[in-house]
Structure 1
Amino acid sequence: MILTVTPNPALDVTYRVRALEPGESHRVEAPVVRAGGKGINVARVIAQTGGHALALATAGGVTGSRLSADLLASGLPHELVPVAAETRTSIAIVDETESHATLLNEAGHPLSVTEWEHLGEAADRLSIPAQCLVASGSLPADAPEGFFASLVAIARDRGIPSVVDTTGPGLVLAARAGANVLKPNRRELAETTGESDPLDGAAQLIGLGAGLVFVSLGEKGMLALSASDPSRPIRARLDTPLRGNATGAGDAAVAAIASCLVEGVRDPSAILSRAIAWSAAAVLAPVAGELAPGFAQLERRLVVTPA
């Protein structure tokens, strides 16, 4: 079982328009509304691909009730820590003509010290049967910067690998805690490390203590750098870029990475291949947390080169 932890989940609302015209009124069909947040999306993808995942998250207020109801209806195994603050909403507007999405992500309300303690205790308890721990997403305002690092420590104590997908101080502290895998995207990496070159940014995280760093590069694929062989970074991409809704692409890549670790796959090239294939399949899916059919065949279209 893969345990995913999402401290700052969201109720995802996805609208589709023929063409998004800023400043204009748009008539739309009813949106797709579902429980979201990076870790929940990761768990959905793992379940879709035949794996076992349990999503741990917080939930509060009316929005939290809707998030809980959707998770129950979906059948996705989960546990929600009750909080006083209203769960945030995330809005995606998909432009069908240009094949891109515009996102409006609320920051998320602060949690109390006690609520953070309850979330950490739940992660510790649920990690006992887990084979991998995934910590994903943003942290709400006033969150303890070391929360993701504490999850890395829990995984280490249980003897299971950890995967962290976040940004800012949380990413740095997770690296220092010895996270097995970090998976920022290019923008998040640059904002966190101050390095415009993703290879330099990845090397900085490796130097802090991370085992593997995968950097999403959008249409240019993904970069991988390993602490075991830092002189041989690798890069891979599809033979031709895909167009669609990239909202959940990074989460699909994290799901691929975690599934490889559970299967005992440690070769960065093999992990990278699955991560890019699943990420590409997510771009072709209508909403985050899903893969389009034929995701396994996309690995055959990869172009792998030294970085």
Structure 2
Amino acid sequence: MDVPSLPQTPPILTLTVNPALDVSTSTPHVTGEHKLRCSATRIDPGGGGINVARVIRRLGGTALSLYAAGGPTGDAFRQLIAAEGLPTVMMPIHNSTRQSFTVDETDSGKQFRFVLQGPEVTEAEWTACLDTLATTMPAGGYLVASGSLPPGVPDDFYARVARLARDAGARCIVDASGPALSAALAEGVFLVKPSLRELEAHAGVKLDTPKNQADAAAQLVASGAAEYVALTLGGAGAILASASGVIRSDVPRVTVISTVGAGDSFLGAFVLRLAQGRTAEEAFRSGIAAGSATASTPATELCHRDDVERLETELAAALSVPRR
């Protein structure tokens, strides 16, 4: 398999085994048993690692994206990716790439998100994905494994990915949930980015106070599960835990329109800044800026560079850095 040659930029590789065609539209009111007349439809290539790479590109960086795709929707997905000019390696599967469907209810401001199940992936297909990953692993760079696992892929898939990265001298970053997240943490990773709900599910307890949240993130670092834990809290801000302590930050004031892709944008900006030699605190600030910028865009649109840089500047003055 030919791998696109990349310019000499910080080595970042993203992995998406369950991408999706993100379809979004709006209608005045969502109600049952009626035809709902919708606005114009927007279609974007989505999925964790794909969105991370798209944000990295928008912010002036470069990442090579590995993704699994198949069927007619996979063909459409590949065309959308090509139109954005992302360097990619497609890992073929037999079944069709999934779709996700987002509807904005304009009368209420509510957003309805329908995430369809991914295609069944055979053992031969997911092991081939691991083989492709092993041949493209960025030694000395960053591997971002992000998104859900489709049916047929084992819960320890990201743990296997983390092991490959460690053996190759790459820093593995995981954004996952449920058993896949827990297995990756048991293996040990460089950075993990859970939401509050994902961290609560892993810890098995309710984390309903700032102290409990900070302690849970710090405990993952202390146990060796991750060198960095970036805990995103939506409108309540974010926490970064490392061996140096815990940083908590509020999010900048923006008009939230759609949170689709905000977490991926956070991670894309964070990783890019690390690869560019920024400090973890600066990368954290950039991640918050990118997530907030994406939340202020409609439907499945992602952040824009000018907005991210403006919000980074605002946060630089406001970010407090308490140490534990």
Scaled by the length of structure 1, what TM-score is found?
A: 0.91
Look up the SS of the partner of 1:5 in the other structure.
strand
Look up the SS of the partner of 1:195 in the other structure.
coil
State the one-letter code of the partner of 1:294.
D
- Provide the C-alpha distance between the structure 2 equivalents of 1:300 and 1:238, rounded to a whole number of angstroms: 13
Question: Displacement, 1:25?
Answer: 4.0
- Provide the C-alpha distance between the structure 2 equivalents of 1:130 and 1:104, rounded to a whole number of angstroms: 38
- Provide the C-alpha distance between the structure 1 equivalents of 2:117 and 2:224, rounded to a whole number of angstroms: 28
- Provide the C-alpha distance between the structure 2 equivalents of 1:185 and 1:64, rounded to a whole number of angstroms: 28
How has the CA–CA distance of structure 1 residues 210 and 128 changed in structure 2, closer, same or farther, with 3 Å as cutoff?
closer
Question: Displacement, 1:273?
Answer: 0.7
> Which of 123, 126, 133 is the matching residue for 1:116?
126
> Which of 253, 258, 283 is the matching residue for 1:240?
253
- Provide the C-alpha distance between the structure 1 equivalents of 2:107 and 2:291, rounded to a whole number of angstroms: 21
Question: Displacement, 1:251?
Answer: 0.2
Look up the SS of the partner of 1:211 in the other structure.
strand
Deviations along 1:193-234, one digit per CA (max 9) or x if unpaired, are 2132133432343225211111111111111111x13xx322
Name the residue aligned to 1:21: 30
> Which of 259, 270, 277 is the matching residue for 2:282?
270
Q: Structure 2 matches for 1:185-200, cutoff 5 A? A: 185-197=195-207, 198-200=213-215
Name the residue aligned to 1:201: 216
State the aligned residue count: 302
Question: Displacement, 1:73?
Answer: 2.2
| Residues 220, 226 of structure 2: 8 Å contact kept | yes
State the one-letter code of the partner of 1:111.
V
19-28 vs 6-15, which moves further: 19-28
Scaled by the length of structure 2, what TM-score is found?
A: 0.86
1:48 aligns with 2:86: no
| Residues 181, 211 of structure 1: 8 Å contact kept | yes
| Residues 49, 144 of structure 2: 8 Å contact kept | yes
> Which of 124, 143, 154 is the matching residue for 2:164?
154
How has the CA–CA distance of structure 1 residues 12 and 237 changed in structure 2, closer, same or farther, with 3 Å as cutoff?
same
Unmatched runs of 5 consecutive residues or more in structure 2:
1-10, 208-212
Structural RMSD (CA): 2.1
- Provide the C-alpha distance between the structure 1 equivalents of 2:29 and 2:250, rounded to a whole number of angstroms: 28
Name the residue aligned to 2:141: 131
- Provide the C-alpha distance between the structure 1 equivalents of 2:313 and 2:59, rounded to a whole number of angstroms: 18
| Residues 10, 90 of structure 1: 8 Å contact kept | yes
Name the residue aligned to 2:5: none
Question: Displacement, 1:297?
Answer: 1.1
Look up the SS of the partner of 1:69 in the other structure.
helix
Question: Displacement, 1:172?
Answer: 1.7
Look up the SS of the partner of 1:294 in the other structure.
helix
How has the CA–CA distance of structure 1 residues 280 and 144 changed in structure 2, closer, same or farther, with 3 Å as cutoff?
same
57-66 vs 99-108, which moves further: 99-108
Unmatched runs of 5 consecutive residues or more in structure 1:
none
Question: Displacement, 1:86?
Answer: 1.6
- Provide the C-alpha distance between the structure 1 equivalents of 2:50 and 2:111, rounded to a whole number of angstroms: 20
How has the CA–CA distance of structure 1 residues 238 and 225 changed in structure 2, closer, same or farther, with 3 Å as cutoff?
same
State the one-letter code of the partner of 1:256.
A
- Provide the C-alpha distance between the structure 2 equivalents of 1:55 and 1:204, rounded to a whole number of angstroms: 31
Name the residue aligned to 1:261: 274
> Which of 304, 307, 312 is the matching residue for 1:294?
307
- Provide the C-alpha distance between the structure 2 equivalents of 1:165 and 1:36, rounded to a whole number of angstroms: 15
| Residues 14, 144 of structure 2: 8 Å contact kept | yes
- Provide the C-alpha distance between the structure 1 equivalents of 2:228 and 2:151, rounded to a whole number of angstroms: 28
| Residues 174, 193 of structure 2: 8 Å contact kept | yes
Look up the SS of the partner of 1:71 in the other structure.
helix
Deviations along 1:81-128, one digit per CA (max 9) or x if unpaired, are 111122111011123455553211012122111101111111111114
| Residues 53, 64 of structure 2: 8 Å contact kept | yes
Name the residue aligned to 1:72: 82
